[in-house]
Amino acid sequence: MKTATIQLETLSCPSCIQKIEGAMKTLEGVDQKTVKVMFNASKLKVSFDQEKVSIEDIEKSITRMGYGVEKSKVVSA
């Protein structure tokens, strides 16, 4: 498992949290229990199985919803 911290563009409304968390939980390979959006910091923390989903797939899912990804940091869990 890998853990990613993804810096998002500034989130403008609390409903963004549900949208992003909901989308992340539908991705195969994402550990649903670890999905956490920090509204004030505009960050997403998530653990994922790199055999099933890549950080690029996660970033694409976020940008398809209209949210910008500024940078991602991935570490081994």
Residue 13 has pLDDT above 90, yes or no: no
The CATH number assigned to the domain holding 29 equals 3.30.70.100
What total number of domains does the chain contain? 1
**Domain span at residue 11?**
2-76
Report d(CA 61, CA 48) in Å as an integer. 14
The per-residue pLDDT for 12 is 87
Residue 16 has pLDDT above 70, yes or no: yes
What's the chain's length in residues? 77
Between the CA of residue 3 and those of 12, 15, 27, 45, 66, what are the distances in Å? 25, 24, 15, 7, 23
- Give residues with Cβ within 8 angstroms of 7, minimum separation 6: 42, 43, 69, 70, 71, 72
Nearest one of 61, 62, 30, 60 to 48, comparing CA atoms = 30
**pLDDT tens for residues 19-50?**
999 999 999 999 999 999 999 999 999 999 99
